A = this chain, B = another copy of it.
Amino acid sequence: MIEFDQVTKVYNGDVKAINNIDLTVNDGEFVILLGPSGCGKTTLLRMVNQLETMTEGDIRVQGKSISELNKIEMRRNIGYVIQSNGLFPNMTIEDNMMIVPDLLGWDRVKKRERFNYLSDLVGLAPDEFRNRYPHELSGGQQQRVGVARALAADPPVMLMDEPFGALDPIIRTSIQDEFLKIQREVKKTILFVSHDIDEAVRMGDRIALLRGGEIMQYDTPTNLLNRPSNEFVSEFVGQDRVLKSMSLYTVAHLMDTMNLKAADQTITDTKKVDMHTSLRNVIAMLLNREADQIVATNETGEIAGRLSLGLIEEFLEKEVKTKA
């Protein structure tokens, strides 16, 4: 658990980067810090592992005030992905990735295994990259090494500063998926900086939207999108925020609330989607006209009923009670 308790940060006596922030990240929670450039995301993150001092307030990690913790030890237990990857130019990719295990005195075999595992995880062929040096990698590849490096010693807490910023959309999506998969299993406590609303919605359990060093809204993605608490939030999440929020609802959600119409047995060109499909995908399929009718299946694979845009429209009406 990470708790920010009335934290304020003033640079050089006059730049108030963080203004009296309260924020709690629960154990195993994935929290996104979102906001425009310069709003203080990096600053907030770096105060946790004491790379930046606080001006006022307190931060507690696992219940203990960070001022009482041993800096070095604490940092080894917190994975940190720096905004600009910060790889060590003098070390090979393997050495870079294994630096913390190395400091912790892992043996060769264990390090090798871990390297292979992590490289695969971030989509880099271990043997191809092992002995290369950072400058021999593309920007996106470097960034992935940075992420893997932070994961190396499997720290329970992770601080990640725009870790996927330099990745192209395809790799970005796939690495996000991988990451979510691990997260579902290991439940790390993660504070993750992003300025990409789609990424935030996709990845975060909760999102803290910042502006000028203050939290505008700290909420679940669904609420942020559907119940923006003020003008700034609703503008930041965008006009199509409800469309975005559709990726957070699945067919199952829809079926909980609504009764599906019966499928038309006479139509042969039918496409089945399972209950875990997001409504956003369903909307896309419907608009794409991928089949003459699209039907949802239940857990046993039986057809539960037919999906239509009209139905989704009704679902929204019921589900999203407050209007923008």
Q: How far is the CA of A323 from the CA of B169 in the complex (A)?
A: 24
> Interface size for chain A: under 10, 10 to 19, 20 to 34, or 35 or more residues?
20 to 34
- In the complex, the chain B residue whose C-beta lies closest to that of A314 is B309
| A233-264 residues at the B interface, CB under 8 angstroms | 238-243, 246
Contact between A290 and B324, CB atoms less than 8 A apart: yes
**Stretch of A84-92, A118-126, A278-286 that contacts chain B:** A278-286
Contact between B324 and A36, CB atoms less than 8 A apart: no
| A279-297 residues at the B interface, CB under 8 angstroms | 280-281, 283-284, 286-291
A292 to chain B, nearest CB (A): 9
With A287-B246, A290-B324, A324-B288 as contacts: A239 and B168 at CB distance below 8 Å: no
A228 to chain B, nearest CB (A): 11
**Interface presence of A170 (CB below 8 A):** yes
Contact between B323 and A290, CB atoms less than 8 A apart: yes
CB neighbours (8 Å) of A312 from chain B are 287, 309
List, sorted by A's number, 16 A–B pairs whose CB atoms are closer than 8 Å.
Answer: A36-B170, A168-B195, A240-B287, A242-B284, A242-B288, A243-B287, A246-B287, A287-B313, A287-B316, A288-B323, A289-B323, A290-B323, A308-B310, A309-B309, A309-B310, A310-B310
- Besides A243-B284, A289-B324, 14 new A-B residue pairs in contact (Cβ under 8 A), listed by A number: A36-B168, A239-B281, A240-B280, A240-B288, A242-B287, A242-B288, A242-B289, A287-B312, A288-B323, A289-B316, A289-B317, A290-B324, A308-B313, A309-B309
